[in-house]
Chains A and B, each alone.
Chain A
Amino acid sequence: MPIDLSSVNPNLLIILPPGVLAVFALVVLVLDLYSQEKRWLAGLSLVGVLLSLVALWFASRPGAVPPGDYFGRMVTADHFTFYMVAVLLVAAGLVILFSMDWVPRRLPKVQVEYYELVLFATLGMMFMAASRDVTLIYLGLELSSQASYILAGLLRNDPRSNEAALKYFLNGALASAVLLFGLSILYGLTGTTYLPEMLVALGQAPLPLLVTAMVFVIAGFGFKVAAAPFHLWAPDAYEGAPTPVSGFFSMAPKAAAWAAVLRVFLEGLSIPQVMDKWSVLYAVLSASSMLIGNLTALWQTNVKRMMAYSSVSHAGYILVGVAAAARAPEVGAGAVLFYLLSYILTNAGIWAALVALENQGEGTEMADFRGLAQRNPALAWSLLLLFVSLIGIPPTVGFFGKFFLFRAGVQAGYVWLAVLMAINSAISVGYYYAVVRNMFFEKTEKPRLELGSSLQAVVALSVLAVLVVGLGSSPVIQYAEAALGLLGR
């Protein structure tokens, strides 16, 4: 039955997905007071995420919300918004799903707070991705960051968790201040915080000041996405934070930060005089992130920490697309958007395995993976496939993600960067293989590793998605490339 939405105010429709999520977050918060049994509240949070996805589906149907800006130009309706909000909601849903068994064991006193903070962080990220006004991008960034600082420190009596929270907080707050300083100069040069107007007004701005502002903005976002040399907080934060939280960090906040980067640079700072400059800066950041991330990851013995360095190197790969977007916007930004999805889908399964180990009271060291193929063959083979996807070998989604980035890099004339990406993918085999070797070629006496139904679901979804989205990548990449075409340029 077709539902007629033409009489509904589009302002309400575009705000429906975050609205549903906010309502559920508040309802869960209140129900926490009256409920002894907390587990169903986790389910309720998950329902909130799913309903938010349904609302997004309604809002994104053709004709439901005409492309444009709503709520006083604060929220934008375009393919970019719909795509990114969907990606973020999927990430949040997977995180809630793989935390369900872990949270009652390790955070018995703050169970609902955990889901609460994940929901609020996701809400902030949705606004980050949905806006082209830097005021709202900044507010969304802060909402998601501050919820993340608390998440990192949720294991209140574990000094390592405290330390992770402290380092994440100090670096994050510093990054916000640096970013804001750049934005304040941009406001001074243009008199507006609305990116398309900023773009028009930037033409008359003095170039030195503009470049200064741009450098501050790049540094600020560089911290948030953990691109080398601004990545130093990431390994500590990932290692010390509660394991599902580290998984969350590697998936959602980064994706939102990339969305904000694309918005700010492609819609606000895309006048030719500065485009070349930020493109080159991002190319340099890209090269350093790939090299530093991959080479440091080779020496890690803790898998959480290794995944942190791996995410630094993946930030480097994504930066290839960002740098390329200056010269070939559709292809570059489309490749970035596709890669974000592929990275989230792949990472979910790997972090679910780490969570499973902790559920049985084990650690996340390389040694804990010994003999995993004996203890749970299905999980070991799934992990193998996911690592293959992270390396970028066909027919997985990671291969197609890297392929699109490579193509964007070549089209934009960054052949050296694209080649460096291929070399780095080869280096990354080294540390992923270390885990695989431990899983398949080491013996162990430990009992079978049980996953539990929610973790099984995440691993299965992750493996399926890696294959299905990989082989069926053409509609996704077409949508992602079209996302930029509608940005109103």
Chain B
Amino acid sequence: MQLPIYFPLGLGALLFGIGLWGALTRTNAVRILMFIELMLNGVNLNLMTFTRYYYPENATGPILTLFVMTVAAAEASIGLAIILQIVRNRGTVEVDKVDLLKG
């Protein structure tokens, strides 16, 4: 018996929701990055669920999922490089302490 589609879709939405909540409320840059990755996993779960349940003969969903994963990896490496530079110059990863620019 197949799981009703609401379960995986709900899990995807939940992952995305937790990610969005975390990304908007946390102040640690690394943590925000992790929450954003969680959002992307929710997206991927969505895409794969739709493909599996509705469009099993369709290749575009899995392809987009693969691209999202690849891009997320590139994004994480760039993000960590930027955060590393902040840590070197300012000694903090807290976003609310990085506040030279205001107005």
User: Which residue numbers of A lie inside 8 Å of B, CB to CB?
Assistant: 134-135, 138-139, 142, 146, 149-150, 153, 156-157, 159-160, 162-167, 169-170, 173-174, 176-178, 180-181, 184-185, 187-188, 191-194, 235-236, 239-240, 299-302, 305
Contacts and interface: CB of A to CB of B under 8 A. Distances in A.
B64 interface: yes
B48 to A, nearest CB: 10
Interface in B15-58: 16, 19-20, 23, 29, 32-33, 36, 39-40, 42-43, 46-47, 49-50, 54-55, 58
A185 B85 CA distance: 36
Q: Identify the interface centre among B33, B67, B98, B100: most chain A CB within 10 Å of its CB.
A: B100
Given A150-B78, A301-B103, A174 B36 contact: yes
A178 B60 CA distance: 20
Nearest to B102: A236
Most B-side CB within 10 Å, residue of A142, A301, A305: A142
B71 interface: yes
Nearest to B90: A159
Interface of B: 12, 16, 19-20, 23, 29, 32-33, 36, 39-40, 42-43, 46-47, 49-50, 54-55, 58, 60-61, 63-64, 67-68, 71, 74-75, 78-79, 81-83, 85-86, 89-90, 95, 98-101, 103
Given A135-B64, A138-B67, A173 B103 contact: no
A377 to B, nearest CB: 30
Given A149-B82, A184-B47, 8 more contacts: A173-B75, A177-B39, A181-B16, A184-B43, A184-B46, A187-B64, A239-B103, A240-B100
Contacts of A305: 103
B50 to A, nearest CB: 4
A73 to B, nearest CB: 10
6 A-B pairs closest in CB distance: A188-B50, A177-B39, A184-B46, A236-B101, A191-B55, A180-B43
B43 A157 contact: no
A291 B87 CA distance: 37
Contact of B60 (A160, A170, A193): A193
A145 to B, nearest CB: 9
B27 to A, nearest CB: 11
Contacts of A236: 101
B95 A170 contact: yes
Contacts of B83: 166
Contact of A153 (B16, B55, B85, B103): B85
Contacts of B50: 184, 187-188, 191
Contacts of B29: 166, 170
Nearest to A143: B71
B32 A170 contact: yes
Nearest to A301: B103
Contacts of B12: 184
30 contacts: A134-B64, A142-B74, A146-B74, A146-B78, A150-B78, A159-B90, A162-B85, A162-B89, A163-B86, A163-B100, A164-B101, A166-B29, A167-B98, A167-B101, A169-B82, A170-B29, A173-B33, A173-B79, A177-B39, A177-B40, A178-B20, A184-B12, A184-B43, A184-B50, A187-B61, A187-B64, A191-B50, A191-B55, A191-B58, A192-B58
B80 to A, nearest CB: 10
A181 B42 contact: yes
A460 B44 CA distance: 49
Contacts of A188: 46-47, 49-50, 54
Nearest to A296: B103
A178 B64 CA distance: 15
B67 A169 contact: no
A186 B52 CA distance: 15
Nearest to A237: B101
A181 B43 contact: yes
Contacts of B19: 177
Contacts of A165: 82, 85
Contacts of A184: 12, 43, 46-47, 50
Contacts of A235: 101, 103
A159 B100 contact: yes
Given A162-B90, A166-B86, A185-B46, A193 B75 contact: no
A191 B100 contact: no
A482 to B, nearest CB: 31
Contacts of B60: 135, 187, 192-194
Nearest to A235: B103
Contacts of B23: 170, 174
A368 to B, nearest CB: 16
A159 B64 contact: no
